[in-house]
A = this chain, B = another copy of it.
Amino acid sequence: MRIGELSRRTGVSVPTIKYYVREGLLPAGQLTSPNQASYDETHTRRLRLIRALIDVGGLSVAGVREVIEAVDDPAQPVHMMLGSVAEQVVPQYEGEDGSEQGEQLTAARKTVAELIARRGWRSYPEAPAAEALAVALAALENAGHGAFAAAVLDDYATAAERVGQVDVEFVARNVVREELVESVVVGTVLGDAVFAALRRLAHIDASGRVFGLGE
């Protein structure tokens, strides 16, 4: 297909498509004449992935390039490829700047390492998700709610194990590497939003039971 058709099918404008080609994110089309290139399903699929990474995952072009290099490297095992994708979509808790959290952060990192050991989770020391968890725990401690973290952490971990297992089983249905990666990014980011909303609905339900509905 021509570039105009590719643009219509994917909803990505022609200048943006050309920009992705220049940036090396999208392979150039096959030249059919000096001024005309032809695109196929591999381009459609790649564009879907790029848009998911940028629009849903919030990745920069540099982040997209890193993910695509991992996707395009057939020597990279799936687990490692997904790891490099996951590192790009770490949840960021945007709180106060952490200048006063030095001590709490050190303690929180220890809590996280103990949790990972206690649950028997395969992880690796510099996993950004482990650091993100430590930052959130330090923020709780800093806000005077360290007891909350201590009380709920293992129940949260049990729930996260269930959700994480379901997520990975679902994305594993994909066989094409690009579709697998796209599904991981979309599922990770939008899955957060889905779970956060469900948790609030569960709060309304539990609050009614615990405190009574009032009149």
Instruction: List residues of A whose CB falls within 8 A of some B CB.
Output: 48, 52, 55-56, 76-80, 82-83, 86, 90-91, 93, 95-96, 116, 119, 121-124, 127, 129-130, 132-133, 135-137, 139-140, 143-145, 148-149, 151-153, 155-172, 183, 186-188, 190-215
Q: Which residues of B contact A144 (CB under 8 A)?
A: 48
Inter-chain contact A205/B122, CB cutoff 8 Å: yes
Copies in the complex: 2
Inter-chain contact B165/A202, CB cutoff 8 Å: yes
- 5 closest residue pairs by CB, A with B: A164-B202, A77-B214, A129-B200, A133-B197, A160-B198
Q: Which of B83, B133, B206 contacts A194 (CB 8 A)?
A: B133
Additional 17 contacts, C-beta under 8 A, given A127-B204, A156-B191, A165-B202:
A78-B211, A79-B214, A116-B201, A122-B209, A123-B205, A132-B193, A136-B193, A140-B190, A140-B194, A145-B187, A148-B170, A148-B190, A152-B191, A155-B166, A159-B162, A191-B199, A195-B199
